[in-house]
C-alpha cells in the first residue's frame, strides 16, 4: 500500500516485513544491537526556524489588528495573528502566507501581484497550518444579506429571517453548500498541500464560534442597530442559532474531509462557545461601518480572539509527539499466540512518531509514519491497523513505547 491508497478502503499488504527506522529502538528499550533500527529515510526532524508555513484567509491574517505586517499590505496581516503567536510558543518562525479574502483557489494560484500561498511549500517544510473555507461559503455576502431591522426581524432585504432566506424547497442551502461543496474542497486542498510538502505535519484549524447556539444566547438576544460609533449586532435573535448551525456543519464536515485526507484538524468551536459575538467577553467583534460598507474587522477576531487562537494553535504545535492517537491491542489467537495490533489514525498516518512494540522488554515491531517493521496492515474506516503475531504467556508484559518514553501496557483480550 502506498500513501495514495484511498483511506476508506480495506486492504492487506503482502506478508512481508518492511523496515524503516526513525530512532534507535535498542537504545530506548535496552535491547541488543541486533534490534537497533537505523534512522528512517525522509523521517521528519524537529522543526527548525523557517520550516513552519501558515496558509489561509483573514482569520489567519488577523485583519491588521495591532500593527500591519507582511510583504503585501492588502493581505492585512497582523503582528498579533495566530501564526506568529503560535510559532513563538512552539519555538518556530512563521512564514506567514495568509491573506484576507483568500479562497481555496488562492492557495494554488496567484491573485494579481500576490503569489499562490502554496508556492512557499517544499519538501523541507515541516509544519503547515491552514484555515480556509469561509470565503468559499460566501461569508461576507451572507452577513450583508442577513442584516435585520430589529431583534424580531424582518431582514433589510424583506424576508422574515435569514433561515427563511436561505431555505429553498425545505433545504437549508447554506448548510448544504458547507457540507457538499466547501468541506470536500478543503479536503482536496489538503491533499494538494501534502503533495507539495510531503514531509510536513499539516494542521487545519477551524473557525472560532461566531454566533451563539441557543444555550449561549442571552435572553432577548443581543440585537443592536448599526451605527458608525461602535460595533453592532444587527441580527434577528432566531438567526443566531441558525448561523451557529451552519458553522457547526462546516466545522464537522471539514474535520471529516481533513482527516480523510491524512491531516490533523483542530476545532475551536467548543472552547469558544462562551466567547461568541454576543458574549460579554467576546473573541469576535460585531459589525462596524466604514462609510457605507462593513469595516474589515466586522465579525472577525478581536485582540482577545487572536490571543486565544495563538495559544490554542501554539499548544497543538508544541504538544509532545508521544503516541499522536496511536493505540495498541492484543487479541488472542488461541494457545500462546496473539495478534499484536498497532492502530494509527489516518489523520496522523504520515506524521506518526516511531512507536515500538515489545514483549517482556524485547522489541518485536514498530511503525513510523506509514512505514515500520510489521507483518501486514489493513485500512479501516478512519484507522490503519498494523499486525504482527507474537507469543504471549501468562505473566508476560506487552507494551508500546515511543522515543519520548511514553508507554501503553496492552491487555490480552479474547478473539472476537
Give mean pLDDT in consecutive 10-residue pieces for the chain, a chain of 416 residues: 29 35 28 24 38 96 91 95 93 93 98 96 92 96 92 92 95 97 97 92 94 91 81 93 96 92 89 94 90 83 96 83 80 93 83 88 89 89 90 92 81 78
pLDDT of amino acid 39: 25
pLDDT of amino acid 85: 95
Give the three-state DSSP class for 309.
helix
Closest CA relative to residue 277, chosen from 301, 252, 258: 301
Residues marked as catalytic:
58, 300
pLDDT of amino acid 228: 59
Is cis: bond before 154, omega within 30 of 0?
yes
pLDDT of amino acid 321: 57
* Maximal CA-CA distance, the chain: 79
Structural domains present in the chain: 25-43+321-413 (2.60.40), 52-318 (3.40.50.1110)
Start-to-end CA distance of the chain, whole Å, equals: 26
Sheet with 412-413: strands ordered across? 376-379, 383-391, 337-345, 327-334, 412-413
Residues 6+ away with beta carbon under 8 Å from 138: 177
Q: Say if residues 290 and 228 touch (Cβ distance below 8 Å).
A: no
Amino acid at each position: 500500500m502506498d500513501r495514495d491508497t484511498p483511506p476508506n478502503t480495506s486492504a492487506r499488504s503482502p506478508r512481508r516485513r518492511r523496515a524503516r527506522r526513525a530512532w534507535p529502538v535498542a537504545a530506548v528499550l535496552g535491547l541488543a544491537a541486533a534490534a537497533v533500527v537505523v534512522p528512517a529515510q525522509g523521517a521528519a526532524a524537529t522543526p527548525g526556524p523557517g520550516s513552519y508555513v501558515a496558509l489561509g484567509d483573514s482569520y489567519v491574517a488577523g485583519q491588521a489588528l495591532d500593527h500591519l505586517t507582511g510583504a503585501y499590505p492588502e493581505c492585512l496581516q497582523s503582528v498579533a495573528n495566530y501564526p506568529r503567536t503560535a510559532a513563538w510558543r512552539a519555538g518556530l518562525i512563521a512564514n506567514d502566507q495568509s491573506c484576507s479574502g483568500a479562497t481555496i483557489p488562492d492557495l494554488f494560484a496567484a491573485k494579481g501581484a500576490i503569489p499562490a500561498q502554496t508556492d512557499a511549500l517544499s519538501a523541507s517544510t515541516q509544519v503547515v497550518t491552514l484555515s480556509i473555507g469561509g470565503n468559499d461559503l460566501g461569508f461576507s455576502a451572507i452577513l450583508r444579506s442577513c442584516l435585520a431591522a430589529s431583534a424580531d426581524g424582518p431582514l433589510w432585504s424583506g424576508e422574515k429571517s435569514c433561515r427563511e432566506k436561505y431555505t429553498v424547497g425545505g433545504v437549508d442551502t447554506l448548510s448544504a453548500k458547507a457540507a457538499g461543496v466547501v468541506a470536500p474542497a478543503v479536503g482536496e486542498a489538503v491533499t494538494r498541500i501534502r503533495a507539495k510538502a510531503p514531509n510536513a505535519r499539516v494542521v487545519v484549524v477551524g473557525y472560532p464560534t461566531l454566533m451563539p447556539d441557543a444555550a449561549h444566547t442571552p435572553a432577548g438576544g443581543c440585537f443592536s442597530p448599526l451605527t458608525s460609533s461602535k460595533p453592532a449586532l444587527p441580527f434577528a435573535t432566531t438567526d443566531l442559532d441558525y448561523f451557529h448551525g451552519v458553522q457547526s456543519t462546516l466545522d464537522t464536515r471539514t474535520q471529516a474531509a481533513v482527516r480523510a485526507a491524512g491531516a490533523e484538524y483542530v476545532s475551536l468551536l467548543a472552547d469558544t462557545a462562551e466567547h461568541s459575538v454576543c458574549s460579554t467577553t467576546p473573541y469576535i467583534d460585531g459589525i462596524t461601518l466604514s462609510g457605507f460598507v462593513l469595516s474589515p474587522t466586522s465579525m472577525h477576531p478581536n485582540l482577545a480572539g487572536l490571543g486565544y487562537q495563538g495559544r490554542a494553535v501554539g499548544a497543538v504545535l508544541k504538544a509532545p509527539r508521544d503516541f499522536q492517537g496511536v493505540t495498541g491491542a492484543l487479541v488472542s489467537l488461541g494457545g500462546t499466540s496473539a495478534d499484536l495490533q498497532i492502530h494509527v489514525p489516518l489523520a496522523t498516518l504520515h506524521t506518526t512518531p516511531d512507536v515500538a512494540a515489545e514483549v517482556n522488554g524485547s522489541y518485536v515491531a514498530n511503525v513510523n509514519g506509514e512505514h515500520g517493521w510489521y507483518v501486514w496492515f489493513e485500512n479501516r474506516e478512519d484507522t490503519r491497523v498494523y499486525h504482527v503475531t507474537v507469543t504471549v504467556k501468562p505473566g508476560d508484559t506487552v507494551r508500546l513505547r515511543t522515543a519520548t518514553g511514553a508507554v501503553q501496557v496492552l491487555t490480552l483480550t479474547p478473539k472476537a
